[in-house]
Amino acid sequence: MANDASAVFDTLSPAVSGGSLADPFTPPADSSLWRKNFLLGAATASYQIEGAVNEDGRLPSIWDTFSAIPGKVLAGDTGAVACDHYHRWEADVDMLASLGLEGYRLSIAWPRVMDAAGVPNRKGLDFYKRLLNRLKEKGITTFVTLYHWDLPQHLEDRGGWLNRDTAYRFADYADLMSRELAGTVDAWATLNEPWCSAYLGYGNGHHAPGLANDRFATQAMHHLLLAHGLAVPVLRANDPASQKGIVANIGRGTANSESAADQRAAHLFEVQHNAWILDPLLKGSYPQDLFELWPGTEPLVLDGDMETISAPLDFLGINYYFRTNVASDGAHGFRDVPLEGVERTQMGWEVYPDGLRDLLTAFRKTYHNLPPIYITENGMASDDQVTDGHVEDTQRISFLKRHLAAVDQAIKAGVDIRGYFLWSLMDNFEWAFGYERRFGVVHVDYSTQKRTIKRSAQWVAKFLKERKARA
């Protein structure tokens, strides 16, 4: 069908099953991907790549604590060493630049830059200054996320995101970072995926700090969003030339049947995954349907909170990976009904690029104040192996092609999308799944820290080189 992202890309270039790069990716002449100002980059996160968790004054984070608990992370893995980026950052920046990637999205490790009393840690700050200055020297656009889940453990000991005071401590942290790094950051994102922090961290316990209570999840979410709202004016004051936004992960929910119950279940899935975050940011209120799913879990909201949370954004970061097929659970919620015969990744997630286009076009209709969008994460995990010095990750190339097609379709439908960051630059610590799941376009041998450019990275680099030649 004409609007199927998979079908669109099948017509754009030869099959990649053999891994050949003889023919570069060639979108149609009218594709937005040829636009000189459409940013193409890659993303990482501090705890997933830096390592050096006990060096230069870094304090423990909730992920240091959580991953040390037996059974919480696959194979007992931790982020103690990860990709050793803290020591190898110069070579990693050179590698990023050699691929021609135009943007780099990274995060700051809150426990690395200030102590429990809020006193700046100069060694930690200097690390990020050196990193960002080198990126600017290379002409790479910098997107910096302040919070990518590594909350200082001392704040969790005082209640973490269940404690309203953590939102104010986050504003202090944002103040320090934007004063210290002003001029080196093109775009600030306050939070990465508050849904994961709130629900996986406090609702079902799959992520740090490992608590499991629906009431905890809604209150943690409110304090996360409040932290965002408190930080935005601080960032604006200290670094006025940069963009300010937030990053949300979104999920496409489809109904298992045409029954009213299953259709309602799919709606509630998207309320929980999307509207729970976007409604407060863009409408200034929580969706009431959320509390149909979780009766009696309304968070404590003080006067003025929603106005703080819904302050205008310069951009909205969107992370998308897969869709979920659901049916009614027979009560007031939904249950997953995995489809058979569909393409899946190493994570078990369905490859469904049309879901990205469908959600983006729906958001444009739902939120009349929808800010410009960057796709801040999109990618897939595969069990990649190095053979004769090469990694033939052909499924990833196909995945990226089809999702970029979906982005192009959304732009043509009127959605203001200004860039795309693939996840991830390199294989890394994949949270509760440890090091087994590989999302990178660069392979990392964790025993030697050797980086090997995968075929997908070569494919992206070749396209960017061709786009530059056409400009």
> Residues at the annotated binding site for substrate?
48, 148, 192, 321, 423, 430-431
Closest CA to 285 of 298, 270, 266: 298
Catalytic residue among 50, 102, 156, 193: 193
Residue 193: active-site member: yes
Per DSSP, 157 falls in state T
Most distant CA pair in the chain, distance: 62
> Residues at the annotated binding site?
48, 148, 192, 321, 423, 430-431
Residue 377: active-site member: yes
What's at 183, amino acid-wise? Answer: G
Kindly write down the DSSP assignment for every residue of 329-397, as one continuous string. -SSSSEEE-PPSS--B-TTS-B--HHHHHHHHHHHHHH-TTPPPEEEEE----B----BTTB---HHHH
Could you give the C-alpha distances from 224 to 57, 60, 109, 147, 299, in angstroms and in order?
Answer: 26, 20, 16, 10, 12
Closest CA to 421 of 466, 379, 455, 381: 379
Taking the CA atoms of residue 465, residue 424, residue 127 and residue 464 in that order, the dihedral angle to the nearest 10 degrees is 10
Ramachandran class of 122: left when φ > 0, alpha when ψ lies in -120 to 50, beta otherwise: alpha
Could you give the C-alpha distances from 398 to 223, 248, 355, 390, in angstroms and in order?
Answer: 39, 24, 16, 18
Rounded to 5 degrees, what are φ and ψ at 328? -65, 140
Q: How far apart are CA 65 and CA 157, in angstroms?
A: 11
CA angle 458, 461, 467 (to 5 degrees): 145
Q: At what angle do helices 165-181 and 214-238 cross, to 10 degrees?
A: 30
Catalytic residue among 50, 350, 377, 392: 377
Instruction: Report, as residue numbers or ranges, the catalytic residues.
Output: 193, 377
